[in-house]
Amino acid sequence: MTSEQQTTYRRLIVERRGPVGWIINNRPERLNAYDAVMREEFPRAWAELDSDPEVRVIAHTGNGRAFQVGADVEELDGEAVQQFQETMRTLDLKLTGWHCNVSKPVITAVNGVCAGGGLHWVADADIVIAASDATFVDPHVSIGQVSALETIALMRKIPAEAVLRMALVGSHERLTAQRAYELGMISQVVDPPELLRDVVQELGEKIAKNSPVAMRATKRALWGALEHGLTDACREGARHLTSVWGHPDQDEGPRAFADKRAPNWLPLDGDR
């Protein structure tokens, strides 16, 4: 699979592969644990791809034998730990696409180990796919830390008992990719593992065929529903549905279907 690298980062790689933009964790010697530099780079990378009209879908994965293992504990001392603690107190993490209010579809591609804070990207993605050798573990309580934000977010996706078991057993048990699939944490297991990025790219290209403005409104409606009760969620969903009435894509879709051709969607044009 060919790729084109667009921007240089110290801890991340940002690439475009056709309509799919990729964010790749690139600190394999530390199992892609995030430090202050990576924390600073994530919001910049998300914003870069979300604002690029040529990018329709954003995929996120890691280099090496781990996807992400959370915060680099060796860095958390002195000024660095104070900065990290402040982001937690203010809930100003800016790590994931959800944290950064990304409007485009986001696919997390889990390769290898996903531990602790790495679960943020599993909980917050629109779609999660994992290699067959991927494993998931939450070691917080095993090192005297509280498991909260990642696991609270995971409760939106999988049964509470499964989350509680992961959080309370800690580093003494790992979920396999197959078990994560059975629980609904991920939607697909890729075997052999080396095909993970190809499979995600193919899925991203399928998604990219759809109307960007319709997908943005759909994403806002569905994620917004998690913040409300049923009636309020439906009211808010109706607001997002009607927000694209009159947009040219609403005419182009049926016309292209009737003409038996690929639709010519308009690119996203700001915060509509």
Q: What is the pLDDT of residues 13-63, one digit of tens each?
A: 999 999 999 999 999 999 999 999 999 999 999 999 999 999 999 999 999
Residue pair 119/138 in contact (Cβ under 8 Å)? The answer is yes
pLDDT of residue 77: 65
pLDDT of residue 148: 92
pLDDT of residue 78: 64
Q: What is the pLDDT of residues 93-126, one digit of tens each?
A: 899 999 999 999 999 999 999 999 999 999 999 9
The one-letter code for the residue type at 117 is: G
Q: Residue range 63-78: average pLDDT? A: 86
pLDDT of residue 192: 98
Task: Label residue 224 exposed, middle or buried (CB < 10 Å: 0-12, 13-18, 19+).
Answer: middle
pLDDT of residue 32: 98
pLDDT of residue 82: 76
In the numeric block, the tokens 């796919």 are attached to: 129
231's CB contacts (< 8 A; 6+ apart) are none
In the numeric block, the tokens 């050798």 are attached to: 133
| Average pLDDT along the chain | 92
How much is the pTM? 0.91
pLDDT of residue 272: 47
Task: Label residue 101 exposed, middle or buried (CB < 10 Å: 0-12, 13-18, 19+).
Answer: middle
Residue 269 pLDDT > 60, yes or no?
Answer: yes
CA distance 198 to 202: 6
238's CB contacts (< 8 A; 6+ apart) are none
Backbone angles phi, psi at 115, to 5 degrees: -130, 150
Q: Residue range 130-156: average pLDDT? A: 95
Residue pair 268/213 in contact (Cβ under 8 Å)? The answer is yes
pLDDT of residue 84: 74
Sign of torsion, CA 210 183 130 117? Answer: positive
Q: For the chain, what is the radius of gyration of the CA atoms?
A: 19
In angstroms, the Cα distances linking 183 to 66, 118, 157, 180, 233 are 21, 18, 9, 5, 25
Q: What is the pLDDT of residues 77-89, one digit of tens each?
A: 667 677 777 887 8
Q: Give the residue from 128, 149, 117, 135 showing the smallest Cα distance to 42.
A: 117
Residue 7 pLDDT > 80, yes or no?
Answer: no
Residue 2 pLDDT > 70, yes or no?
Answer: no
pLDDT of residue 4: 52
